[in-house]
Amino acid sequence: MEAAARGWPIWMCDPKTVEFIGLRRWPNVQIVATSVADMVVVILRAQQEMERRYAMVEAEQADDDEFEPLILVLDEYRDFMAMVTAWWQSIKQRGMPTKCPVFEAVGSLARKGRSRVGDGHAPPEDVIGDSASSHKGRSGPAQCVRLLPQPQGQDGEALADRRGAGWRSR
């Protein structure tokens, strides 16, 4: 992964739990989340970080040219959607949204996060959506890679996860 060699922080969500095992010890791979709850947290934290950065630019505390990417990899999007949907239904209580808010976060990252979406099986507009029907019957993985600006000099540790820098799920 060129991003790791460049020193960019990488956060990964791995619904199959085994796809990125070999990357857990790579430099700059800060998170490899494999449980549903952990993947949801990683995505929501990435969205929070994106919003924080936009606020910095709006407040003129940072310029676009001061940023480097934070890479968020969400592999197997359809598997992720199915897992999150089942998990959400198992924990959902009265008054909570019908759908897990993480789907809105994924959409927000795709729209606003200077995203590059990659998938060997489906065009980007078919990868990001709130239902499996958006895939038009295609099979295979939907791997989404997000590029988010990060002020230089910050290594992402503060937002790496709720357990501290270098956390690896499982």
CB atoms within 10 A of CB 61: 11
Segment 115-148, tens digit of pLDDT: 655 543 443 344 444 333 333 333 333 334 444 4
Instruction: Determine the angle formed by the axes of helices 102-112 and 77-91, rounding to 10 degrees.
Output: 140
pLDDT of residue 3: 83
pLDDT of residue 102: 95
- Contact between 76 and 141 (Cβ < 8 Å): yes
Rounded Cα distance, 154 and 55, in Å: 16
Spell out the residues 6+ positions from residue 98 whose beta carbon is closer than 8 angstroms to its own.
none
pLDDT of residue 118: 52
Rounded Cα distance, 151 and 91, in Å: 36
**DSSP 8-state code for residue 51:** H
By C-alpha distance, which of 102, 104, 107 is closest to 43?
102
pTM value?
0.70
Sign of the C-alpha dihedral, residues 110, 115, 118, 121? positive
Backbone angles phi, psi at 6, to 5 degrees: -80, -10
Burial environment of residue 18 by CB neighbours within 10 A (0 to 12, 13 to 18, 19 or more): exposed
Structure tokens, 151: 């002020």
Segment 106-121, tens digit of pLDDT: 988 888 776 655 543 4
Beta bridge partners of 146: 72
Segment 56-103, tens digit of pLDDT: 999 999 987 787 788 899 999 999 999 999 999 999 999 999 999 999
Rounded Cα distance, 57 and 68, in Å: 14
Residue 1: is its pLDDT beyond 60?
yes
